[in-house]
């Protein structure tokens, strides 16, 4: 059986495919680096923000981490002791990571919206090459 007459040059196809694959690999690596930076680089920032808000007496921060507001309001005066810190720390870490995951999903949503907005500007390469 002979190949179809319009099959084209296989090496040209391979070269084009390898160029696209390299571009996709680079884009994927950049995307993974951005998500990794958001997930693991910003957790400490959110945790410090929660810590500052909790030490300032912000009840909404206590509710955000899942702490019972009555426990927060009726706490003893002064700086927290080691037991209170050990009780609240996992809650702060979990809430901080949840905020970072939400930011990562928001980034992915923005990239998807940008891709959808760029679709009308895409052109048919074969039609463009035939003209010129």
CA nearest to 57, candidates 39, 45, 75: 75
pLDDT at 4 over 60: no
Name the pTM for this structure. 0.71
Is the model's pLDDT at 13 over the cut of 80?
no
Q: Where are the alpha helices (DSSP H) in the chain?
A: 10-41, 43-55, 59-65, 69-73, 82-118, 125-131
Q: Report residue 130 CA to chain centroid gap.
A: 41
């Amino acid at each position: 059986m002979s190949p179809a007459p319009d099959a084209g040059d296989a090496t040209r196809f391979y070269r084009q495919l390898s160029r696209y694959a390299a571009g996709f690999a680079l884009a994927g690596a950049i995307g993974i680096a951005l998500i990794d930076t958001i997930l693991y680089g910003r957790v400490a920032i959110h945790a410090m923000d929660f810590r500052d808000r909790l030490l300032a007496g912000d009840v909404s921060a206590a509710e955000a981490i899942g702490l019972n507001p009555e426990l927060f309001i009726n706490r003893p005066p002064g700086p927290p002791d080691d037991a209170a810190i050990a009780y609240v720390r996992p809650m702060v870490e979990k809430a901080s990571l949840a905020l970072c995951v939400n930011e990562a999903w928001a980034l992915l949503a923005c990239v998807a919206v940008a891709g959808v907005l760029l679709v009308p500007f895409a052109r048919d390469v074969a039609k463009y090459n035939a003209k010129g």
